[in-house]
Amino acid sequence: IDRDEFIGILRGINDIFADAEALSYKAFMENCCACLTGYLLLFCMPTHYEKCVKRAAEYITEKNLNDLNRRGIFIIDPMEKGLRC
């Protein structure tokens, strides 16, 4: 696999996780509303972090299927291993 292509894939994953961890007005309001409802709101709707984690999993799956598997490489979703790898 080309070095630039691999770095691009890793940057894409890191960008998604950076978006998940970013402080924003939406995240602030989400947390305030969750606190006001006794965190029952979190049972009704996914958080921004959960949406980003799902988007990262889909991105990794797509890159594995389209680019990496045919070259004998497989990237594991870091959430499956508790962000340890």
Please report, for the chain, the start and end positions of each structural domain, with discontinuous segments joined by +.
Answer: 1-45, 46-80
Question: For residue 80, what pLDDT is reported?
Answer: 84
| Predicted model pTM | 0.85
Asked whether the beta carbons of 41 and 34 are under 8 A apart, the reply is yes
> Is 82 or 36 the better-scoring residue by pLDDT?
36
| Mean pLDDT across the chain | 91
Please write the tens of the pLDDT for every residue from 26-56. 889 999 999 999 999 999 999 999 999 999 9
Residue 9 neighbours by CB under 8 Å, 6+ apart: 63, 67, 68, 75
Question: For residue 81, what pLDDT is reported?
Answer: 80
User: Residue 77: pLDDT above 80?
Assistant: yes
